[in-house]
Structure 1
Amino acid sequence: MPTFNSHGTNLYYEDTGEGIPLLLLHGLTSNHAMFYQEIDAFKGQYRVIAPDARGHGKSDKPEHYTLEDHVQDVIALLNHLELVSIYLIGVSMGSYIAQGVAIEESDRVKKLVLVSTKSHGEQSSMAELYSRHADEMQGLSMIDKLSYASKYMFYNQTAVGKWLHETAKVSGQLTLHEQAIASDALIGFDFRTKLCDVRAETLVISGTYDGLNPPDYGEETAIMIPNAIFMEFKWSGHAPNVEQPDLFKEIVNNFLDESSKK
């Protein structure tokens, strides 16, 4: 089981394929297993590396950590694997981490894909969603809230349900306590004044029906990154890579593939 140590925390990662290193950074309370479709699609052309963030998956679960810890963990992984340059895809929380890495390691990150993203937040997007619909969810348990909120998060519920089922086969769920710690790590981050330092070619993808990080958030992020491209998937919510997988793979493949531009 491949692991590395980042500032005293043991972190797990998957590493498969050959070629340009392509890092995949997962969303809040998830883990590398959420990328089972992307790993299969990209491993024939890239060296695909998918870590479990601290507090998630098979990695250690400290009682407290921050978004900056996540950023430094990815940088530690790059150093551990002695990677000089990378392509980077981040989804939701993974896209926040990816922004921090692309800012701090601007010479290393050559291409950047931010999916269902935002550039700042006073709290996690899920906490914001619960707050917006507090009256509707009054009296619901945390698990019931999550189930109820899905209609505000996704457009293609069938595809997302199948994806969650397949992911759950190979990964355990976080406890409610662990979920709360993970959510608290995203309180009060803001990359807006630093996104101008990103040098990577950047693609930002949002879903029209995303009630967690609406397209306006993604477009705002793209505007602040030099020469970034913004795309809105019309039949997706918070998981464009799952809800419109063929379109996602085609768009991302074309964006990453240097030969397609010659």
Structure 2
Amino acid sequence: LRGHGYSDKPLTIDFHDYSQDLKELMEFLYIECATFIAIEMGSAVALDLVQRDPKKVSELILINPTVSGEGLPHERLFRKYAETIRTWSDSEQDKFLEKHLYYAKGKVRKFLKSVNDSAALLTDYEKNAVDQSFTDFELGEPLSEVQVRTLVIAGVANERIAPSESENIAELMPNATYELFKKSGVYPFVEEKEKFLKTVKSFMQRTTHNMDL
């Protein structure tokens, strides 16, 4: 996706550009239809693709999804505790906020060390372009119109996107099921890996019978 990873970094991005990027990538790779696994704001991109070209998506797996354009998740979490931490150093703030993001903190720290943080390479202008694209965006249709089979997973320890918000998304979608992971936060696929794989495999096997996870 533009603005992410090692893709192009335009200084102006429209939210709907992301789903177009996905369509073009699928066409380039000759992929007609796929299962999409998306986390947090990425869920809004996956839902936008479904609404724009439903034939491209066989099923959705949304992890801690949000479709709110009222501030980015990390901004919402900061505002929640701003009175306490606003004068602290960045490292002190990060250490405090970590307690409100993850359940299995040790597993997450190990995982994040293994991830190539390409976001750290962004200039302030490039980062602002990405942030602005997810601010005040709107999906084209109500979630009640999304017919694709969907699994919604939420981690109870994630305070930047409350499980209740993810559950509400599942309730609005006619073919969605909701799973709450009680020993996870932002990254259920890391914090409760075995349960996550078992849950996803069970969900996907209804569509893809010969699947090995």
TM-score range, shorter chain: 0.7 to 0.9
Q: Tell me which residue corresponds to 2:107.
A: 159
Cα pair 1:110 1:199 within 8 Å, conserved: no
Quickly say closer, same or farther: Cα 1:150–1:183, change in 2 above 3 A: farther
Q: Which residue identity does 1:173 align to in structure 2?
A: A
Question: Aligned with 2:60: secondary structure?
Answer: strand
Matches of 2:18 and 2:91 in 1, distance apart?
A: 26
Post-superposition shift, 1:61? 1.3
* Residue number among 63, 83, 91 corresponding to 1:135 in the alignment: 83
The two structures have a TM-score, normalised by structure 2, of 0.87
Matched, 1:200 2:152: no
- Is 1:113 aligned to residue 93 of structure 2? no
Cα distance change, pair 144–192 in 1 and its aligned pair in 2 (3 A)? farther
As a proportion of its length, which structure holds more strand? 1
Comparing 144-153 and 57-66, the one that deviates more: 144-153
Q: CA RMSD in A?
A: 2.1
SS at match of 1:113: strand
- Closer, same or farther in 2 for the Cα pair 1:209/1:176, shift >3 Å? farther
Amino acid at match of 2:59: K
1:23 aligns to what? none
Secondary structure in 2 aligned to 1:107? helix
> Residue 120 of structure 2 is aligned with which of 173, 193, 215?
173
Q: Which has the higher contact order (CA 8 A, sep 6+)?
A: 2
Distance 2:119 2:71 in 1: 25
Give the corresponding residue for 1:88.
36
Q: 1:232 to 1:190 in 2, by over 3 A?
A: farther
TM-score after normalising by structure 1:
0.72
* Paired residue secondary structure (1:82): coil
Partner of 2:165: 217
Contact 2:51–2:141 at 8 Å: present in 1 too? Answer: no
Equivalent AA in structure 1 for residue 120 of structure 2 = Q
Residues 103, 195 of structure 1: 8 Å contact kept: no
Give distance in 2, aligned partners of 1:250 and 1:78. Answer: 27
Tell me, in whole angstroms, the C-alpha distance in 2 between the residues paired with 1:192 and 1:222: 18
